[in-house]
Structures are given as structure tokens and as C-alpha cells.
Structure 1
Amino acid sequence: MKRSIVKSGMFAALAALGLAAASVAAAEEGPVYPGSFAENPIVYFVITDRFYNGNPDNDRSYGREPDGEEEVGTFHGGDLAGLSHKLREGYFRDLGINALWITAPYEQIHGWVVGGENAFRHYAYHGYYALDYTQLDQNMGTSEELREFIRLAHADGIRVVFDIVMNHPGYGDLWTLDKYGVDVVWDGFEAATPRDYHSHINYNSRNWTDWWGDAWVRSDLPGYRSGNHRDPLTMQLAYLPDFRTEATEAVELPVFLRNKWEQEGRLESEQAALAEWFEQTGRTPTVRNHLIKWLTDWVREYGVDGFRADTVKHVEKEAWAELKAEAVSALEAWKQANPEQAIDDAPFWMTGEYWGHGVERSDFFDYGFDNMINFGLQERANLSSRLDAIYARYAEAATPEANFLSYISSHDTHLYPRERLIEGGTVLLLAPGGVKIFYGDETARPAGPAPASDPDQATRSPMNWDAIDEDVLAHWQTLTQFRARHVALAQGEHRRLSNRPYTFSRTYGEDRVVVAVEVNEPQNVAVGDAFSDGETVRDFYTRERMTVMDGQVFVEPHANGVVLLERAGPSSGSPASAP
């Protein structure tokens, strides 16, 4: 015991020295106003399977196999252990983000379905073909690896956001149907190719009702009611089975799911957990309430901080409100049980994907959403004369209670031009509101191959760890770190100060910044009334300090032409002045 006390005392002394040094450095850098997460979300969206392979032993889970040279639709090996590896390296900390949005990690259909007209093997590596919401997909990792990933993220002040789908499960694939007793697959299905895949399925069999069943989903299969293709709430999006989340009647568990849980030896425990939850909450065991229970269990058990909700226009708004309320309670319970792992006491957070939504305040904010994804910036993200109008509109629309995430690349649209990522990063990371970084935009990850009938696959290429564009990465790191220091960038009042070079200020309470872009040579930059004459400021990009004179400062810009001015702390050096 005495040795432990001595050791602890030594570490305490070293920690005190480190804190003192950090305090001095912080004082020299000047005040920081990061704001709350709701005010200033800096979200990194990663397709986990395409990011980093931390545990090769899980690459071929459920018998999943590679598919030729291009591998556009197969699992590549990225997993939760890979995300943890990059957290330990400090990759995300250096990038300055405060949330990691990961693809849905719960169990997906085991096999593949036919992808696109060119017929490639399309596995559920992206997390949108759910099979079982109650456990992790083995390709993603184990429960212990999920706990470690969330622990490491929280230790860096980074929230974990799950991509979730409440509109539909995955298709019925040959391998899953056969394994869990849905007798609609012909013998010899194991030899199926994309060209003859459908010939191995009996689409006329009444046994299809042993799959999800008519009480659970709409589907164009025997024994099911079809969706209304004109109604967003009851249509079968991309021919996927559509959950009947609007139904009010109690439902029994699907036959295939009971078979699955029985094979895994957990049927009784899962049924007991459901019965207990329905009794505690007073909820009817409807389709919607089963999904709410299963999805919020990840929050209650692991401390997931938020959801990115897929296809929100295709689910009743009341369902989202109920999901959010249950998730808020679940996160509160987790934080009470695990106070040492909680980042703060902020409530559960939710953003939504409504195709075409912009920065307007829609009524989705009245149904549980804190944030909506902004589809409007990607096609406008360039340093043009119209940029100030975009920024002014975004600044007026952004509020902590109804915020939005802008992006320049997406897994559902296309990648921003790879040769213009310095410019694209500048536009995105200086935009008011919240921002979403799509994995690899910060490293110039090249697009991958894709069939012409499914161009989305090109946006989901493997992370380019062996060919990172270091100039692009350094630029994005600088801008995200600056953004993380200043809530004014996200929520501040926007004022244009100059057209050439384009210069603006943002102020939010005590926080104030001045930004100039396309500054190609040493020159004076206007600061307006953001900073006073005689005040010392510094350019966060170059770390150079200067004094304001006559409402301007003289800067010697970085080669990328971006000037990021903030208050500077005290220094023994003599700051430069405007000539």
C-alpha cells in the first residue's frame, strides 16, 4: 500500500506540472469559446467498414466472402477496433471534431443481394440492411470493443452518434433466410451468382410469412400487404420491406427472429427483457415500440450520445418524438450509472436525414430533432461572389435549438472534387451552423470503382491511409481546430467586412473572430469593430501575433490564403503592427 501511495503522489506531481504548463500555453493563445455541442457540432461521418481494420479475425463473419478485384459491395474489414486504434493515435483529436457518426453497427443480413443492373454482390457493409437490432454485427466487433471505443471517444470529448433506421429492415437474402428457417430457398443456393440469384428463391411461397410477417412489414410478397408507392409513410423505399410503424396493434415476434434467438440460446432472455420493458413503460408491444426499445437499448447499455436518423420523411413524426424521449431517458440513466465516462450532462442529441432539407426550421424540430442535415451546400461550396449571401443566410438560420449539418461530400450523392478540397474545406469549415466531415475529405481519399447503375458505391472507397494528402489534411485540421475554439463561427452574427479579399466577422457573446480568404500576399486586413485599436490578435493559421491599428491588421498569410484572427493572450514578444 505504501508503494502505491508513493507512485500516486509522483503521478499527481507530474500532472500538476503538466497542467501548469498547459495553463501557460492556453493563456498565451488567448480565450477559447467552444460553445455547447448543440451550438457547435463538428461531426465526422465514417463508414466503419471502409475506415480501418483493427481486428482482421472478424473480416469473414457469417461466411461473408470477397467478390473479385473491385470489391465495391463487400465488407472490407473496417471495424470498431479500427476506430479505437485511430482514437488512441489521436487522429480524431488532432482533427478537432466533437462527434463521430458511425454506420449502424447492429447485426445486418448475413449474405448479399444483387446490386444494380450490373449485378454485383451487395452486402450490408453500410448498415442499412438490418437483421437483428439487439446485437452487434460480428464484422463490427464485440460488445467489449464497442465499450472500449465509446470510452476512448468520450475521454477525448468526442460524442458517439449511431446511424439508425426505423423505416425498414434489410432484404431477405438467401443465406439468412435458409439459416433461420424461412423455407423459400431452393437447394443449391450456395452456388448462386448475381446473374442467377433470384432463380434460387421461391417468390410464390406462402412460407414468406415466416420472415418478418404481414403484421411487421409491407412487402410485395405472398401473405403481405403492399406499400402505397405514392405515400412517403407507407411506400417501400427502394423495394425494401417497410416497417408498419404507424400500426397500433400488438405484434408477436417474427418467426425467423424467434428461430434466430433460439439458435443463439437467448430467446427466453430476450422475450423476458421485452416483457419487462413494456410493463415498465406501459407501452403496447407494437412494431414502433419494439424498434424504440431495441434502438434505445444501445444508449442505455453503452452510452451512445446521439442518433442520425435515416429516411425521416418515411416515418411518422410522432415515432421520432417517442424515440427521442426514450433515448433522452436512457442516456440520463447511463450517465447516472457511469458518471466517470460521461462527457457532460448534455441531453441525447438527434439529427435527421430528410432528402432535400435545407437550413429552414421545419416542424421536425418539434418532434425530437435537434438538428437536420442541410443538403444545400454541396453544389454551392466554392469561393464565389455568392458565398457571403450563403453565409449570411446560414448565420441567420442557425440556432442551438434548431441547428443543421452542412456537408460537401456524401455517401448518398457524390464526392466533392478531389482536386479542390482545400477550397471545399475552407467553405465548409467556415460555414455557420454545424458541419459534417465525410471520411476522407480531409485526406483527399480518391473515389472508388462503381457500376454505372449504382454510383453511390464510388463514394465509399477505402480510407487512403497509405496515400494521405498531407497538405489537405493540415488545412482541414487547422480549420476544424479553429472552429472547435470558437462557437462564434457556428452561431455568431455574420458581417461582411471586405469583398477583396473576402473578409467577414462573426460575434457571439464574448466570442469574436475575423476571417479572410484568398489572401495571396502580405497586406492589411480589416477587422471592423470585432477588435479594438491597440488590441493584440493572432492569426490561428500561422500563429503570428499583430496589433490592431485603424481598424485593420497587417498579415503575412499562409500559402493557402486563409487568415483566422482571434484574440491573443499576453506575450513577452513584440507583436507586429499594421504599417
Structure 2
Amino acid sequence: MSKRIWISFLLALMTLTVMGCQGKETQYRTSTEGVFSYENATVYFAMTDRFYDGDEENNNAYGRETVDSLGTSIGTFNGGDIRGMTEKLQEGYFRDLGINAIWITAPYEQIHGYIGGGREGDFAHYGFHGYYALDWTMMDQNLGTVEEFRTFVDTAHEQGIRIIMDVVMNHVGYPNLQDMLEYGYGSVDLPEDFAVEEGDDFFSYTDYVDYESEEAWENYWGDWVRADLPGYEKPGATEIDLSLAGLPDIRTDVTEDIGLPPILERKWMNEDEAYEPWILPSAKDLRRDLSLAPYEYIIAWLSAWVEEFGIDGFRIDTAKHVEVERWAELEEAATEALHTYRENNPDKPAAAFSDDFFMMGEVWGHGVLKDYYFDNGFDALINFTFQGLKKDGPVFRGRNKDSVFTNYAEVLNSDEAFNVLSYISQHDTNLFPRDRLEEGGTYLLLLPGAVKIFYGDETARPMGDGGSDATQGTRSPMNWEEVDEELLTHFRKLGSFRNRNLAVGAGEHIRLSEEPYVYMRTYDRNGLENTVVIYEGEPGEVTVMVSDAFSDGATIRDAYTDEIYTVENGEILLNVHEKGLALLEEVTKIEN
């Protein structure tokens, strides 16, 4: 059996139930019900802070404000946390969507203070998104405790859902006023009445920072980073040594021991037993001088999350800005850590998982191309080209749509070692048009390869205020009070259909009819066979030829209407939903 396939023991839990004609409960399941593969993954990307607030008491950790002094919450921590993620898991929110992997923003501790947000500094910008690392060995207190995170991961695993954690090795968070005062760098000479008021901006604190003296920055990251700061190695001009967006660039090229960064030495020295709920147990012995190079420390710290919780995979941020061989080393360490977790936790739900550690990378602008990244630890890369397709034109329909499906299936599903993650909305580009999400969701969830639902695409979460930053509005709070229920139902039907049928994402694509557009996906590998047929056309009563897909007498369910059909003479007389979509899957009836 393929290393990417895991047959769940929870088949009954994931089976749709239909009442029989005599009131007796009848269950139906497909041939790949409960089978997991990253080739057919439906990944839900939840920006934790913006998803759901499960514990209001942690909303102002480190003195962070949910609304900044100019009255905006564009770049503040809004309150979402790990406990909130767990509550939604327990409600069955992700399971009902057919989600089989959740990608979360980095849960480890971020810089405590704000920087100026946007071009104009018109809002306070904190590290709510997880890309401004301070300490990889601790939970960020805004997000929750170690035990809350453990409950979250275990709950997901109980439902057969993998957890993919966002991680960064390229850079640390920006210098910021709060950390300057707490950890003693920047030689800040701040007036007692300092405040950002109307007419000011959130860059204003920099007027009181010493950017001339080397001594002022001795307690910052020291030799660990390149930065445009006095006494520091200056950033270069290559992808590897540049300072991305002005962020201090970790010197991942250094291979010798240069000690611990001063800021972490001071931080750890000041943390007593009161910090225990947030310190990662598997990293406690890593919070000291281990005579490692900087990248080796980070690999050890990140792998500790895998060993502690059984994290299933990493999404690698800014992958092209770090030497590619570092990712191979991280993958090797994380794989070993996952094996250790499974051995040490035989009673945990994930102990029965057999799929390998999953590495997915962000290489800005990368498309459906297998290159050297796949020889250096990566199982998949983010696919930037699918969102770039002209979705307001004919590519969404008929022959053009079919050519995309055909190409993706041929390229991805002929090679089990090649995968990409496609999306229609993204946190650092744009959101798919809110009035066309039903169409966009259909296209995405029927696409070959792994796909990603960006939080709120299934509920029509509106674009938020981004101030002078064009992308911040994509990270608006989840719209729990204004959910588009019809759209959510649509996503659930498609997502569940995809999750039950490995052929949707991992199968061969064959067009059966151009008008109406009818196609089948078929999977026959690793001892598993699965076939589906999708109809996109006029609603109402329609005869569909399915002899290439299903045998006469086969029991077929339309997953969009839940109606059951029997194939006769190679055809089905369908009662197509008013949306003009039918999702046909062969099912086996189980009498209870």
C-alpha cells in the first residue's frame, strides 16, 4: 500500500445514513470511505487568531490590545485561539466540510509588540499571523496553553484529520517597542506620556530608538541574523541573504556554533515556573547552549512540536529564501520525531496513522512543476497559478475547464511523489469574488491534486479593512454571525463527496460528454478501486450514460441530492438539482 494511504478504522463514523422504506436505518459507503491520501487532501487553512474565540481571558496576553489606539483591529490579535479551533472540531464543523487536514498558523510565541502597519503606519500590526517569530519553544499566550494545543491535535486526529503547522526558518520578527523595553535592546528613550494619537502613526516610536550605536543592539539577535542595524551583518541581494520586507534574516548559511541569540538567553533566564503552561515539554532541554548552528537549533525546536503532539506536517513559509538542503534536514528530523511520537503514544488516535511526515512549501509564484524542491524534503508546493487563471471567463466552463482538469490529473496523479496545493483565496494575495464562491468552490473541490479552502470561503466571509495594506483585508475575522448557509451547504456536499472518493483528487480524468459537461474520475492503485461521475449542466430530469464508469445493477448515490439510483442499460435517469450539479458515487448498502 502507498505510503500516502491510510485506511481509517472510523468508516462507520464517516458513513452517510439514509432511512429505509420501513424505517430501518440503512447505511451506504463508498469503496474508499475513510481512506486518507495527501493526493486527495482537502486542507482547511485557518488563521487561528481570526477564526473563533474560545477563551476571552487570553485575548490581551503580553499587554496586546485587541483594538489599537487609533480604533482599528486590522493588525491586532482579535481573540481567536486554539480552544476555539477545538470547539469547532467538537461541533463537527470540519468533518461536515469533508476536511481531512487543517493548516494552522504558527502557534509558537510571536514578538510581543506592534510595528507600523501598511505603508503609512496607520494601524498597529502584531504577529497575529504567526510570521514574526520570537521563541519557537513556547506557545504564544494569545493562542492558548500547551495542554489546550494537545487537546486540539488529539481531537483532530480522533476524526482522522491531519494537522499541518505553519513554520518559519527564514526570519525572526521585527524589532518592536514592547520587546525593546522588556529585553533591553534599542536604547529606547521614550517620553512618559508617549502614545499614538490621532495624527500620529505607529512608526512614531522609532523616533526614540537608537539606531546608531552598536551597543544598543547587543541584546537583540546578535550574530544570528542579518539586519540593517549597527554592528550587524548587512543583508545581501540574493534570495537567500536578502532581508525580506525588512525582516531580520536568519543566517541559515552558518554551519558552526555561534552561541545562542542574546534575546533568547535573556528571555529564558527571566522565565520562572509561572511560564510552565506555555513551555513545550519536548523543548525544555533545548532552551540552553547546545553548541549548534542557528538553523540546527530551529530544526530541533520545530521537531520538538512533532515529537510532543504528533504534528503530521509542516507548511514551510518563504521556502525559497533558505538554502534548500536545510529543508531536507528538517524533513529528516521531523520524520524521526513523528516516529518517536507514535512509539511513545501507542494509545493516541494518531498512533495508527502510517502516512509519512508531510512537507509543503511556499515558493512564491511556483506552479505545477516538479523540480529540485521535491528532492529536498518537499512532498508538495503551494500552487500559485490556479488562482491566477482567468476565472471570470470561459476557463470556468466546458472545454477550457476540462483542459485544466485533464492537465492536472495527468501531471499530478501519474506520480505519487508529486503534488501541489491549489486554492482560490489566499491570505497574502486576494480573496475570490464573494458573489461567485459557489462556482469557485465547485471548481476547486473537483480539481485533481490537493486543494485548500481558505477560512471563510465556505461562508462568504467578507473582505475586511486593510488600511494602507492591500492584503490585510483578506485576514478579516470569521463571519460566524453572518454565515451564508446555502453556500456552506454547497461546500459541505462537495467536500464530503471529495473526502469519500479518492478518485476525485487522485484519479484519472476522463471526459464523457462536452455538452452537458460530464466526466469521470477513476482510481485503481494500491489495492483500491474507486470511480465517480460528475454532471454539470441543465437541472431537472436527465438521462446520463455511465456505462464507462458503473456496471448495470450498481447502486449509485447523487451526493448532491442524496438520491439513490440503480444503473440500468448503462444509464441513469437523474433528477438533477436546480443548481445543475450531480455528484455520482457508487455505494454499498449496509443493513444494521
The question of whether the paired residues in 1 share the 8 Å contact of 2:519 and 2:535 is answered with yes
Q: Does the alignment pair 1:226 with 2:240?
A: no
Match of 1:304 in 2: 311
How far 1:19 moved relative to its partner?
12
Q: Which amino acid aligns with 1:173?
A: N
Work out whether residues 108 and 129 of structure 1, in 8 Å CA contact, stay in contact via their aligned partners in 2: yes
Letter matched to residue 549 of structure 2: A
Is the alpha carbon distance of 1:161 and 1:277 closer, same or farther for their aligned partners in structure 2, counting shifts above 3 Å?
A: farther
For 1:407 and 1:166, locate their aligned partners in 2 and report how far apart those are by CA, in whole Å. Answer: 24
Instruction: Tell me how far 1:520 sits from its aligned partner.
Output: 2.7
Q: Are 1:371 and 2:390 counterparts?
A: no
Query: Which letter does structure 2 place at the counterpart of 1:41?
Result: A
- TM-score of the superposed pair, with normalisation by structure 2: 0.88
Q: Displacement of 1:376 after TM fit? A: 1.4
Partner amino acid for 2:230?
P
Q: Deviations over 1:409-429 (max 9, x none)?
A: 000100001111110100000
One-letter amino acid of the structure 1 residue matched with residue 357 of structure 2: F
Bigger shift: residues 137-146 or 29-38: 29-38
User: Retained in 2: the 8 A contact 1:64–1:110?
Assistant: yes
The 1-side partners of 2:271 and 2:222 are apart by: 25
Of residues 493, 505, 509 in structure 1, which corresponds to 2:520? Answer: 505
2:97 is aligned with 1:95 = yes
Number of residue pairs aligned between Structure 1 and Structure 2: 550
Partners of 2:55 and 2:44 lie apart in 1 by 22
Hey, what does 2:401 align to over in structure 1? 387
The AA in structure 1 aligned to 2:331 is K
Instruction: Tell me the CA shift for residue 30 of structure 1.
Output: 4.2
SS in 2 for 1:160: strand
**Equivalent position of 1:540 in the other structure:** 559
User: 1:189-242: CA deviations, max 9, x gaps?
Assistant: 77243152321211112134424444211101101111112x101111001010
Deviates more, 1:457-466 or 1:527-536: 527-536
Q: Which residue of 2 aligns with 1:44?
A: 44
Aligned residues of 1:519 and 1:563 also touching (Cα < 8 A)? no
One-letter amino acid matched to 2:37 = F
Shift of 1:532: 2.5
Query: Cα deviation per residue 1:401-447 (whole Å; 9 max; x = unaligned)?
Result: 21111100000100001111110100000000001110000111111
Match of 1:432 in 2: 448
Question: Residues 147-179 of structure 1: CA distance to partner in whole angstroms, max 9, x if unpaired?
Answer: 111111111111111100010000010110110
Contact 2:16 2:27 survives alignment (8 Å): no
- Structure 2 Cα separation of the partners of residues 153 and 271 of structure 1: 23
Q: Encode CA deviations 1:70-129: one digit per residue, 9 max, x unaligned.
A: 311111000001111111111111111111111001000101001112311111110100
What amino acid sits opposite 1:87 in the alignment? L
After TM superposition, the structure 1 = structure 2 runs for residues 257-272 of structure 1, keeping only pairs within 5 Å, are 257-265=264-272
Q: Aligned AA for 2:396?
A: L
Q: Distance in 1 between matches of 2:449 and 2:516?
A: 23
Q: Work out which of the residue numbers 154, 158, 174 in structure 2 matches 1:171.
A: 174
How far is 1:568 from its partner?
A: 3.0
Q: Answer yes or no: is the 8 Å Cα contact 1:351–1:370 preserved in 2.
A: yes
Q: Work out the CA distance in 1 between the residues paired with 2:556 and 2:57.
A: 52
Measured in 2, the distance between the counterparts of 1:289 and 1:367 equals 16
8 Å Cα contact 1:38-1:401 kept in structure 2? no
Alignment of 1:259-298 (within 5 A): 259-265=266-272, 273-274=285-286, 285-298=292-305
**What SS does the aligned partner of 1:455 have?**
coil
Spell out the pairing of 1:103-502 with structure 2 (5 A cutoff): 103-119=105-121, 120-188=123-191, 191-193=194-196, 194=202, 196-229=204-237, 231-265=238-272, 273-274=285-286, 285-343=292-350, 344-380=353-389, 381=391, 383-385=396-398, 386-398=400-412, 399-451=415-467, 453-502=468-517
Pair 481,79 (structure 1): closer, same or farther in 2 beyond 3 Å: same
- The aligned amino acid for 1:129 is Y
1:31 aligns with 2:31: yes
Equivalent position to 2:548, from 494, 512, 529: 529
Q: Is the 8 A contact 1:174 1:189 kept in 2?
A: no
How large is the Cα RMSD of the aligned pairs?
A: 2.6
SS of residue in 2 equivalent to 1:145:
helix
Q: Deviations over 1:354-396 (max 9, x none)?
A: 1111122121111111111111111335622311111111101
SS of equivalent residue, structure 1 residue 466: helix
CA distance 1:532–1:390, change in 2 (3 Å): same
Contact 2:368 / 2:420 at 8 angstroms: preserved in 1? yes
5+ residue gaps, structure 2, are 1-9, 19-23, 197-201, 276-280
- 8 Å contact from structure 1 (residues 115, 122) kept in 2: yes
Identity rate, percent: 46
- Cα distance in structure 2, aligned partners of 1:293 and 1:18: 37
CA deviation string 1:521-540 (max 9, x = no partner): 32122325111244332211
Q: Which amino acid aligns with 2:272?
A: G
What amino acid is the match of 2:263? F
SS of the residue 2:190 aligns to? coil
Contact 2:282–2:308 under 8 Å retained in 1:
no
Distance 1:434 1:208, change over 3 A: farther
**Equivalent pair of 2:423/2:454 in contact (CA under 8 Å):** yes
> Are the aligned partners of 2:318 and 2:364 in contact in 1 as well (CA < 8 Å)?
yes
How has the CA–CA distance of structure 1 residues 19 and 370 changed in structure 2, closer, same or farther, with 3 Å as cutoff?
A: closer
State the SS of the aligned residue for 2:531.
strand
Q: Is the CA contact 1:34–1:487 (under 8 Å) kept in the aligned structure 2?
A: no
Question: One-letter code of the match for 1:556?
Answer: N
- Aligned twin of 1:80: 82
Alpha-carbon offset, residue 134 of structure 1: 0.7
Distance in 1 between residues matched to 2:63 and 2:176, nearest whole Å:
13
Are the structure 2 counterparts of residues 31 and 377 from structure 1 closer, same or farther at C-alpha, using a change threshold of 3 Å? same
30 and 63 in structure 1: CA distance in 2 versus 1, 3 angstrom threshold: closer
Whole-Å Cα distance in 2 between the matches of residues 376 and 133 of structure 1? 32
Letter in 2 for 1:390: V
Task: Name structure 1 gaps, 5 residues minimum.
Answer: 1-14, 279-283, 573-579
Partner SS for 1:522: strand
Residue type at the aligned position of 1:288: Y
Change (3 A) 1:299 1:274: same
**Larger RCO (CA under 8 A, 6+ residues apart):** 2
Amino acid at match of 1:532: S
Q: What whole-Å deviation, never above 9, does each CA across 1:491-516 have from its counterpart, x for those lacking one? A: 11111111112111111111000111
User: Are 1:208 and 1:223, in contact at CA under 8 Å, matched by a contact in 2?
Assistant: no
Query: 2:585 aligned with 1:566, yes or no?
Result: yes
Query: CA offsets, 1:16-49, max 9 Å, x none?
Result: x999997996753443355433322111000100
Q: For residue 554 of structure 1, what is the aligned residue in structure 2? A: 573
Measure the CA separation in 2 of the matches of 1:271 and 1:547.
57
Where 1:377 maps in the other structure, the secondary structure is helix
* 2:15/2:28 contact within 8 Å kept: no
